[in-house]
Amino acid sequence: MAAKLSYQGRVYELQDGETVLDGLQRHGQDVPSSCKAGACQSCLMQTHKGNPGSKAQVGLKDTLKAQKFFLACQCVPNEDLNVSLPSLADTTIPAEIVGKEQLCHNVIALRLKPSSDFTCRAGQYINLLRENGSVIRSYSVANLPEQDGVLELHIRRIDNGAMSVWAFDKAEKGDQVHVRGPAGECFYVAADGDQSFPILLAGTGTGLAPLEGVVLDALAQGHKGDIRILHGALNEKDLYHIDMLKKLAKQHKNLTYTPCVLNMEQDKPGFHTGSLDQFVMHIMEPLDKTTLRTYFCGAPDMVNLLKKKVFLAGVASKNIFSDPFIIKN
């Protein structure tokens, strides 16, 4: 017997095994959602009666769990629920755009200042909301928020993207948005107080954002081991922050940065020409695989390929970190 859902004054019957999100969308209700895998948290809802089940609350902050918030895409309830979309006031913090900068032809950096304390680790992702929460997208934090008091997000322009086109064409300093989160396990932690292990980070596109966050955090915490960061792109024009990362690598002896371009007309000093996955394996060669930590972010096919390759080469699964990357209009 499938559960019944009360939502906005009406009752909907779920089909056997159907999630709350699918059930509401099947009935034409417009519930925000994105990854449908329990990662992005765009489909956050709250129940005022009944239990959503623990699987629907994986990854949520304890404060949200206690208030019976849950992820609609992961919730196949065993009992009747009375659900609502979260109010902005309950789950988000207003933030002001304090900076906007073009990083390359299709990426901008947006800098946001939350109106009150917003605790988040560099490399984690947050939800960015506009239009009173009707448009929600996830972006990684590329800077050290506790140091800067602002959140830096890298936003790639997606054709007809409800958030990215606005961010490129309309957003300006002083505009108000909302932020929610954070989530994700792609951040730096010392290993039982040890900071001598090597770190290898590789990403494509704006997958660089969380990687930059991890590198900045590792350096700020005084990481001693080697850090190798690689940014892959199809063409040179898709790369960004080249000068910033080169400068950072000059300032820190244990850090190297290599931009990798697949389609380069001719080899260029300081750049690697060729595929990112092969270069990752090459860079990894001299590093101690038993302690190596790897961070991969960006295009899902590349991330999955890299995870598998380094795992087969001997990197422990618990030391392979990545962010699910979702591309949505």
Partner 1 sequence: MTTLYERLGGQPAVDAAVDIFYRKMLADDKVSGFFEGTDMDKQIAKQKAFLTMVFGGPNNYTGKNMREAHKPLVAKGLNDSHVDAVIEHLGSTLKELGAADADIAEVAAIANGARNDVLNR
Interaction between residue 320 and partner 1 (CB under 8 A): yes
**How far is Cα 95 from Cα 115, in angstroms, rounded to an integer?**
5
- Taking only Cα atoms into account, the Rg of the chain, rounded to an integer number of angstroms, comes to 21
Helix/strand/coil for 148: helix
Least gap, CB of 315 to partner 1 (angstroms)? 9
Least gap, CB of 317 to partner 1 (angstroms)? 5
Least gap, CB of 185 to partner 1 (angstroms)? 10
- Residue 326 CB partners (closer than 8 Å, separation 6+): 34, 35, 39, 40, 138
312, 325, 327, 329: which one binds partner 1 (CB under 8 A): 312
**How far is Cα 122 from Cα 227, in angstroms, rounded to an integer?**
16
Pick 165 or 281: Cβ nearer partner 1: 281
**How far is Cα 2 from Cα 123, in angstroms, rounded to an integer?**
39
Interaction between residue 305 and partner 1 (CB under 8 A): no
Least gap, CB of 322 to partner 1 (angstroms)? 8
Each residue 265-304 as x (binds partner 1 by CB under 8 A) or -, in order, gives ---------------------------------------x
Look up residue 191 and give its DSSP letter: B
- Residue 138 CB partners (closer than 8 Å, separation 6+): 34, 35, 40, 41, 42, 125, 126, 127, 128, 181, 183, 326
Least gap, CB of 316 to partner 1 (angstroms)? 6
User: Would you call 316 exposed, middle or buried from its count of C-beta atoms within 10 A (0-12, 13-18, 19+)?
Assistant: middle
Interaction between residue 307 and partner 1 (CB under 8 A): yes
Question: 111 and 90 in contact (C-beta within 8 Å)?
Answer: no
Pick 38 or 205: Cβ nearer partner 1: 38
Q: Which stretch binds partner 1 (CB under 8 A): 12-20, 86-94, 225-233, 313-321?
A: 313-321
Residues β-bridged to residue 253:
none
Least gap, CB of 306 to partner 1 (angstroms)? 10
Residue whose C-alpha is closest to residue 26's, from 49, 51, 7: 7
Least gap, CB of 323 to partner 1 (angstroms)? 11
User: Total binding residues for partner 1 by CB under 8 A?
Assistant: 9
Least gap, CB of 214 to partner 1 (angstroms)? 18
Pick 19 or 164: Cβ nearer partner 1: 19
Alpha helix (H) residue ranges in the chain? 20-26, 62-66, 88-91, 145-148, 164-169, 208-220, 242-251, 276-284, 300-312
Pick 130 or 293: Cβ nearer partner 1: 293
Pick 95 or 303: Cβ nearer partner 1: 303
- Residue 65 CB partners (closer than 8 Å, separation 6+): 57
316, 325, 326, 327: which one binds partner 1 (CB under 8 A): 316
Task: Using CB under 8 A, list all residues that contact partner 1.
Answer: 304, 307-308, 311-312, 314, 316-317, 320
